Amino acid sequence: MVVQKEFIERAHRIVWCGVATVGPDNRPRSRILHPIWELDGDELTGWIVTRKTPVKVRHLAHSPYLSCTYWEPGHEVAIADCEAEWVADVATRQRVWELYRDAPAPLGYDFWSVFPDGPAGESPALLRLAPYRLRLSDVETLSGRKEPLAWP
C-alpha cells in the first residue's frame, strides 16, 4: 500500500501525464492527459475525463491496456500500467466529474468550460483505469544507487 499512496501523491502533484496506447497496427500512440486517482482499501483506480476520439476507441478496442507516465524536472517518475475501460454510467460520470471539481489545485479542474453539456452529455467520456503495475523512481534510482519502488 506504500507504493500506491506514494504513486497518488506524485501523480496528483505532477498532474499531467503521457498516456500511451497501442493500435491495430501495433504501433504506440501517446497523448497528454489529466487522470485523477482514488485508493479504496487496497484498490487503486484512475479516472480520465476525455473525448472518445476514433483513435482512442480503436486503440482500446485493439488492446484495453495503456501506460501512464508522470515525470517532473527533478526526475521523480511515477508509471502506472493499466487496463482501461469506457464507463457510460451517468452516476459514475457525475461522481468523477465532482471528484475533479472538488480536488485542490493544480489537480482540480472544472470541466464545464470544456464540456458545457455536463457529465451526461455526448461529448465527454470517462475512462476507468485499473493498474496492474506501478513503478516509482527518482534521481537515485536512475543513477543506480537504489532500486525503484514497484507494485506488485
Residue ranges per domain, the chain?
2-151
pTM of the predicted structure, to 2 decimals? 0.94
Q: Identify the CA nearest to 14 among candidates 47, 38, 36.
A: 36
What whole-number distance in Å separates Cα of residue 136 and Cα of residue 23? 26
CATH class of 2-151: mainly beta
10-residue stretch averages of pLDDT, the chain, 152 residues long: 93 97 97 97 96 96 98 95 97 97 94 92 95 94 86 90
What whole-number distance in Å separates Cα of residue 97 and Cα of residue 142? 36
